[in-house]
Copies of this chain bind each other. A is one copy, B any other.
Amino acid sequence: MTKRNVAAEIAAIGRRFYERGWVLGTSGNFSAVVSRQPLRLAITASSLPKGTLRASDILQCDENGRVVGRGKRNPSAETLLHVEIARRRSAGAVLHTHSVWSTMLSDTWPSGAGNDAAGVPGIVIQGYEMLKGLAGVTSHEHRELIPIVDNDQDMPRLARRVGETLEHHPAAHAFLLRRHGLYTWGDTLADAERHVEILEFLFETIGRMQGGPSWR
């Protein structure tokens, strides 16, 4: 895929996610790997509304999250998380969204309560046909654990914690940042977009079924 095509596809994803209310304000950020050796990501610039992205809003960054080439703009503040995912999952694309339901579900489990052996809390989803849309899943009986990572403004520290979480959960297709949003990925932008749609669907379904006062 050419650089121009990558930017156009990222802009189209931004419009679709904006219409669904998944990237309000200037929230969310999107990337695609354009080179493996050396690692280069096309990534959205920082602090932009996502419903009206243009090709010039997509920057290129290296494996340390620094912009490659000229340009006055900064890449997304969360670039290090994209790099971490691109490396550890060999992902071709990483998408991060801030939906109402993912924010709500990310807050369900108590911080630091250590819900699994690795001390990472998470959401278990099982029994839904929609799970079959996740890469490599062939039955609704699949058990998906989506880890929840505490939010942090110290990006190198958060990137390390994300890296550890990815290692502890090698089968996970996504993770949530607490009261922050969803990160998922895929071989291509289309695969990652499919994962966002599937997980948002499942979060809304699970969230509505819990409903009412059990939230507190």
Chain A interfacial positions (CB closer than 8 Å to B): 20-21, 24-27, 49, 98, 100, 103-104, 107, 127-130, 133, 138-141, 151, 153, 177, 179-181, 190, 194, 197-198, 200-201, 204-205, 207-216
Contacts and interface: CB of A to CB of B under 8 A. Distances in A.
The 9 closest A-B pairs by CB, nearest first: A212-B212, A129-B180, A25-B133, A24-B197, A25-B198, A212-B213, A24-B201, A25-B197, A209-B215
A204 B133 CA distance: 24
Indicate the member of A24, A153, A208 with the most B CB atoms within 10 Å.
A24
Contacts of A194: 25-26, 49
Contacts of A216: 209-210, 214
A6 B29 CA distance: 28
A212 to B, nearest CB: 3
Nearest to A197: B24
A208 B151 contact: no
Given A139-B153, A151-B129, A24 B209 contact: no
A213 to B, nearest CB: 5
Nearest to A16: B51
A27 B133 contact: yes
A143 B198 CA distance: 33
